[in-house]
Amino acid sequence: MAGGLFHLEAQAQLRPAKPALVLHDPALPAPLVLSYAALNDEVNRVAHALRHLGLAPGGRLAALTGTSREALVLYFAAMRLGLWYTPLNSHLKASEIGTILEIAGTQHLVYRTDLAAQRPGGGHAVHSSTTRLGALAETQPSLCPEGAQEGAALLFSSGTTGQPKGVITAEPGAPLGTQSALAAARIRAHHLSEDTVYLSTAPLYHSAPLRYIDMVLRLGGTAHVLYRFDAETALTLLEAHPITHSQWVPTMFVRLLRLPEGRRQAFKARAHRYAIHAAAPCPPAVKAAMIDWWGPILYEYYSATEANGQTVINSEEWLSHRGSVGRPLLGEVSIRDDDGKPCAPGERGGVYLRGGAPFRYLNDDAKTRAAYLDDGFSTVGDLGYLDEEGYLYLTDRRDFTIISGGVNIYPREIEDVLLADERVADAAVFGLPDEEFGERIHAAVELTTPAAPAEEAARGEALRQHCRRHLANLKCPKTWSFHQPLPRLPTGKLAKQTLRSAVLAAQDTPPAPSSDA
């Protein structure tokens, strides 16, 4: 075992009886608590079982395990064996999973039995159920495997703008306890330590909750894992446990704010100091309401699966720079025009970062090259601007920019206005083909109180008038559709391409090819 302490094996020796995981599984009558010793023994046995199945350092393992005990045990076992580990979105269809396994070169797929129907047919990956793996693990030793080394996550982008991409930010094989520069910066920024009690609210096949649970347990803290997000349940957990840190996406904030006023006023969380949020832009009205309710404990960061850098902002900074996602935590941020030249403060352009992980896209050298400039700055396709003080503001994804009559229109600005209306629970704005203007602005809306089909035209007109009070007419949606609910990924990101295709299909209009294949 390596001498460093930044890994589960070391923490299990230091604090064997301390709770490592508290799993809030709605199928169980009470939370399941796993001590460091119990979790580490299980991880070691599963690691030996995986090795018995033929997985050696550098091997490729995928997990179709949702948010579960098995998902976390499998992840830590892969990190101990020097494997590539790919968590799979449990909402994907078998064909979509098959594509990811093929791209990833997966050797072994471990699946939970209730998700067996989503396994792809054919392919070269061996399939094992968690039941089979668990039975094999029971016969294995609980000692750390000989030659243990760090694994690496082979993550796939969520595909909100097109085909998911395999993202590589690190290689397996480092000594146990190796800490990346970005992990070290995040630990400092959010004051994570052995005293941290963390609440994870999002699915474990997304990079952010997986990475934060990993950091907390490597430091000797405790992680509470909420299997399915529910606003009332989340508040109850914050009140009932000494949770110091939590992580959210903006749609969760919206649902928390929709709770009855009496419930919100009665809420008290005695230990809660850091409410961390990311994954999607947070409408300013929503964030301001959360700070007013919870106090200045909101900490936002901007990053991506590519981990090419990160910005952070605390509540006090945000209140004086409303809408910003902060300044760099690690490295530098630069706004560039279409020719790669730096933009002046206040001028919109592509958001480029430098100083984080040197990422690459699996089996796609052309896409990797396209993400980088000659000076080492890289982008994941977001648009934004810097103010005079160097604070970053995001305006949208490049692929979502609407060009109507030759004018660039940024959907996020319109979505923020819509979400400030109490009649709107969720909103997505995107362009649809228009013979006269090239594209017209369309708003897809989820109402807090669903409208009957006969009422939709009146609801659309009322929301149009609301937009006109806050936006130039050219930015106001021209057409509307109403949905219950809008298709958001569990990570909080809108599946805009899916939604746009559905709206076009309803209008018998063929979708334009995606520019983010």
pLDDT-derived band at 508, boundaries 50, 70, 90: low
Least confident of 148-162, 296-310, 355-369: 148-162
pLDDT of residue 490: 64
What residues contact 412, with CB distance under 8 A and at least 6 apart? 281, 394, 395, 396, 429
pLDDT-derived band at 146, boundaries 50, 70, 90: very high
In this predicted model, what pLDDT tens digit does every residue of 147-185 receive, in sequence order? 999 999 999 875 544 566 899 999 999 999 999 988 999
205 vs 133 pLDDT, higher one: 133
Distance between CA atoms of 370 and 353, rounded to whole angstroms? 14
Q: Kindly report the number of other CB atoms within 10 A of residue 268's CB atom.
A: 9
Distance between CA atoms of 280 and 282, rounded to whole angstroms? 6
pLDDT-derived band at 368, boundaries 50, 70, 90: very high
Q: Kindly report the number of other CB atoms within 10 A of residue 77's CB atom.
A: 29
Q: Model's pTM, two decimal places?
A: 0.81
pLDDT-derived band at 304, boundaries 50, 70, 90: confident
Least confident of 73-87, 136-150, 438-452, 484-498: 484-498
The token pair at 51 is: 């090795």
Distance between CA atoms of 26 and 92, rounded to whole angstroms? 22
Least confident of 63-77, 273-287, 359-373: 273-287
Helix, strand or coil, per DSSP, at residue 396: strand
pLDDT of residue 472: 78
- Cis, bond preceding 250 (omega within 30 deg of 0): no
∠130-155-183 over CA atoms, to 5°? 105
The token pair at 234 is: 């989340």
∠493-498-503 over CA atoms, to 5°? 120
Answer yes or no: are the C-beta atoms of 427 and 415 closer than 8 Å: yes
Distance between CA atoms of 28 and 15, rounded to whole angstroms? 26
pLDDT-derived band at 186, boundaries 50, 70, 90: very high
- Topology adopted by domain 401-506: GMP Synthetase; Chain A, domain 3 (3.30.300)
Location of each CATH 3.40.50.980 domain in the chain: 35-164
Which residues is 152 bridged to in the sheet? Answer: 84
Location of each CATH 3.40.50.12780 domain in the chain: 179-216+224-399
- The single-letter code of the amino acid at 498 is T
Mean pLDDT of 397-404: 76
- DSSP code, position 206: S
What residues contact 449, with CB distance under 8 A and at least 6 apart? 423
pLDDT of residue 290: 97
In this predicted model, what pLDDT tens digit does every residue of 465-474 receive, in sequence order? 999 998 878 8
Helix, strand or coil, per DSSP, at residue 38: helix
pLDDT-derived band at 395, boundaries 50, 70, 90: confident
For domain 179-216+224-399, the question of CATH label 3.40.50.12780 is answered with: yes
Percent of the residues in the chain that have a pLDDT greater than 90, as a whole number: 71
| 35-164 CATH, one of 3.10.50.40, 3.40.50.980, 3.90.550.10, 2.30.42.10 | 3.40.50.980
